[in-house]
């Protein structure tokens, strides 16, 4: 018991050291701010000269936040010795990584490098690095993981959420996993054998209030429920299941943020029931993550609007009967994001990789799927609008919503980012389970791969990283349900999506040559993980334009 108590004390001390590093990040942000002010305001053009530093500082804060979330979870769990040890090893990894980032950029912000080097002499940091990053410690934890077949640490969820998790865990195993490989290799559509039972379980209503037929309480938000479901679906397949919630999540938050009561009553119940499958059309060929630069034209006409132009990377556009579309309703480009509005488009569902919807009025919407190396099943489309008519009542907010599309989109994206972090955690979980199983079974040079020290260290680090991502997303869910957490949603996406690439890569490496073969699921997990840092806000844009900018503004 004394040993466990000492571990708990060290977790608290580790948190203090992480806070000290965060203070240094804040100081660096203040230096950048002082050099990027013009007429007392932060100037975007001046700030662009600090992109590399901004990028590194954003990752510093994301990493620190993940480590603190892990420590908080371990302290709440209390007497789990292996959880405490893994959390301490993760804190040690993060302290080491953040110090290296800050040292490498110290010249840029005029920081005394010796001050950073002095961290290595601090008693707690010294103890963490010497003890919990030692090969003996990391390998010892990995050996225990292998011997106990420890696929995940305790969730610390309440009974209700654990029941939800278990329900979707079984659904993922029984329904999705048997189909996942075929859908990926043959680039098939998601079959009704997945969609129908997913809808019956309430999959599409996790972010929609009960009064509209969803699972979320009317008087409170429940982001955690959405995260738990997303993780288990993504563990089975990112493309065939894990992303089913993303689009109704964004659509529902947008409608709840700006839709009229009539619009909410018309579309939310159908989204919740899975009667209408949904896609989101924001990105354009020349805009990428720059939402404010959207140029798809929405021109007023009798009874509504005509859409003309193109979109790209509209995932699930063919199969969906409803698409949320961001368009420019005011041709004055100097208005930027204030000239944008958000529309609801309804159309028939189309199977396959291309479609064309022709309206009686003469307009048309055509789509062609983009060939991708992973994330198959949903298909992402290039879309082309030619005088495509939308009724006036399909403008979210109707007259009051004109020019507010950017804000409604951002309201949806906050949920999309935390949901993407949960998708990343699900992919990591699947990759870790696959790596652990294979390492125990595969014999090399006369013994199991899992008996080698380096494999044991890899397994420890993988479990630490995916647990940190999971507990970070749980913590952000609490904040978002309390009406906060916008910055944290961006931070957890930044951390978890990069982490998923690394964990899936390590899982593939443990498989050796078989990891590169399409007959093993880990190859699919690897290519699926790669997209996570790109969609719902590309990593660079998220780090520089969202996270770092806010950190610098507040410094």
Tens-digit pLDDT profile for residues 304-337 = 999 999 999 999 999 999 999 999 999 888 888 8
Q: Tell me which residue has tokens 């009051």.
A: 400
pLDDT at 293: 78
CATH number, domain with residue 369: 2.40.110.10
Buried b (16+ CB within 10 A) or exposed e, 131-159: ebbeeebbbbbbbbbbeeebeebebbbee
Assigned domain for 192 exists: no
Indicate which CATH number applies to the domain containing 80.
Answer: 1.20.140
Q: Is residue 390 part of a domain?
A: yes
Contact (Cβ atoms closer than 8 angstroms) between residue 65 and residue 488: yes
Domain boundary among 115, 133, 151: 133
Which residues, including other chains, have CB under 8 Å from residue 2's CB and lie 6 or more apart? none
pLDDT in tens, 185-219: 999 999 999 999 999 999 998 889 999 999 888 88
Residue 374 in domain: yes
DSSP, collapsed to helix, strand or coil, labels residue 276 as coil
Q: How far apart are CA 130 and CA 450, in angstroms?
A: 24
pLDDT of residue 132 exceeding 90, the answer is: yes
Does any domain span residue 7?
Answer: yes
Q: In the chain, what's the furthest Cα-to-Cα distance?
A: 78
45 falls within a domain = yes
Residue 145 lies in a domain: no
Report the domain count for the chain. Answer: 2
Which domain, by its residues, includes 112?
Answer: 2-133
Residue 552 confidence (pLDDT): 96
Dist. CA 528–CA 185, nearest whole Å: 12
Give the pLDDT mean for 145-164: 94
Q: Is residue 285 part of a domain?
A: yes
Catalytic residue among 56, 249, 506, 536: 536
What is the predicted pLDDT for the residue at 438?
Answer: 97
Domain final residue, candidates 105, 133, 161: 133
Per-residue confidence (pLDDT) for residue 421, from 0 to 100: 95
* Among candidate residues 406, 437, 463, the one where a domain is terminated: 406
Q: What pLDDT is recorded for position 292?
A: 72
Structure confidence by residue, pLDDT tens digits, 411-445: 877 777 899 999 999 999 999 999 999 999 999 99
Of residues 486 and 96, the one with the higher pLDDT is 96
Band (pLDDT 50/70/90 cuts) for residue 114 is very high
Percent over 70 (pLDDT), the chain: 99
Q: What is the pLDDT of residue 288?
A: 61
Judge whether 536 counts as a catalytic residue: yes
Report the pLDDT value the prediction gives residue 289, as an integer from 0 to 100.
59
Distance CA 416, CA 202 (A): 18
Is pLDDT at 291 greater than 80 in this prediction? no
What is the residue-wise DSSP string for 2-59? HHHHHHHHHHHHHHHHHHHHHHHHHHHHHHHHHHSEETTEE-HHHHGGGHHHHHHHHH
Convert the pLDDT of each residue in 42-53 to its tens digit: 999 999 999 999
Q: What is the mean pLDDT of residues 245-262?
A: 91
> Residue 372 falls within a domain, yes or no?
yes
Indicate the Cα dihedral angle 96, 102, 103, 105, nearest 10°.
150
Residues 498-525 have pLDDT tens digits of 999 999 999 999 999 999 998 899 999 9
Instruction: With beta carbons less than 8 A apart as the criterion, state whether 474 and 227 touch.
Output: yes
3-state secondary structure of 402: coil
């Amino acid at each position: 018991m004394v040993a466990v108590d000492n571990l708990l004390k060290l977790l608290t001390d580790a948190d203090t050291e992480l806070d000290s590093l965060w203070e240094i990040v804040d100081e660096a942000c203040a230096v950048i701010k002082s050099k990027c002010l013009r007429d007392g305001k932060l100037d975007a053009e001046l700030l662009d000269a600090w992109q590399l530093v901004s990028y590194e500082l954003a990752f510093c804060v994301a990493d620190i936040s993940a480590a603190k979330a892990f420590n908080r979870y371990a302290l709440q769990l209390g007497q789990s010795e292996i959880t405490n040890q893994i959390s301490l090893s993760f804190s040690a990894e993060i302290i080491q990584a953040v110090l290296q980032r800050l040292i490498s950029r110290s010249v840029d912000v005029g920081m005394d490098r010796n001050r950073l080097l002095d961290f290595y002499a601090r008693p707690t940091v010294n103890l963490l690095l010497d003890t919990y990053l030692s090969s003996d410690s990391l390998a010892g934890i990995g050996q225990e993981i292998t011997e106990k077949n420890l696929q995940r640490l305790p969730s610390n969820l309440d009974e209700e959420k654990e029941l939800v998790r278990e329900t979707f865990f079984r659904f993922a195993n029984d329904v999705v996993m048997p189909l996942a490989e075929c859908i990926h290799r043959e680039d098939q559509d998601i079959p009704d054998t997945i969609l129908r039972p997913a809808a019956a379980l309430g999959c599409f209503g996790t972010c929609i209030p009960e009064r509209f037929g969803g699972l979320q309480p009317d008087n409170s938000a429940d982001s955690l429920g959405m995260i738990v479901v997303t993780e288990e679906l993504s563990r089975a397949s990112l493309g065939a299941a894990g992303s089913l919630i993303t689009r109704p999540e964004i659509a529902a938050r947008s409608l709840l943020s700006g839709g009229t009561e009539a619009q909410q009553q018309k579309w939310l119940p159908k989204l919740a029931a899975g009667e209408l499958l949904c896609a989101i059309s924001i990105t354009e060929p020349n805009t990428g993550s720059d939402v404010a630069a959207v140029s798809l034209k929405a021109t007023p006409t009798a009874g509504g609007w005509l859409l003309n132009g193109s979109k790209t990377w509209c995932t699930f556009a063919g199969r969906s009967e409803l698409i949320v579309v961001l368009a420019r309703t005011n041709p004055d480009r100097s208005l930027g994001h204030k000239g944008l509005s958000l529309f609801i488009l309804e159309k028939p569902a189309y199977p396959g990789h291309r479609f064309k919807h022709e309206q009686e009025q003469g307009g048309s919407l055509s789509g062609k799927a983009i060939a991708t190396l992973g994330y198959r099943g949903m298909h992402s489309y290039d879309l082309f609008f030619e005088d495509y008519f939308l009724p006036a009542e399909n403008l979210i907010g109707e007259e009051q919503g004109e020019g507010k599309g950017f804000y409604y989109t951002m309201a949806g994206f906050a949920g999309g980012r935390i949901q993407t972090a949960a998708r990343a955690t699900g992919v990591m979980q699947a990759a870790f389970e696959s790596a652990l199983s294979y390492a125990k079974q595969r014999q090399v040079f006369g013994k199991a791969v899992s008996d080698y020290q380096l494999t044991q260290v890899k397994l420890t680090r993988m479990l630490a990283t995916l647990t940190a991502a999971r507990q970070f997303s749980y913590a952000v869910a609490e904040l978002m349900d309390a009406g906060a957490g916008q910055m944290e949603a961006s931070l957890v996406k930044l951390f978890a999506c990069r982490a998923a690439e690394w964990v899936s890569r390590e899982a593939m490496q443990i498989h050796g040559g078989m990891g590169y073969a399409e007959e093993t699921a880990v190859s699919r997990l690897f290519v699926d993980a790669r997209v996570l840092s790109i969609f719902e806000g590309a990593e660079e844009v998220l780090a520089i334009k969202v996270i770092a900018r806010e950190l610098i503004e507040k410094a």
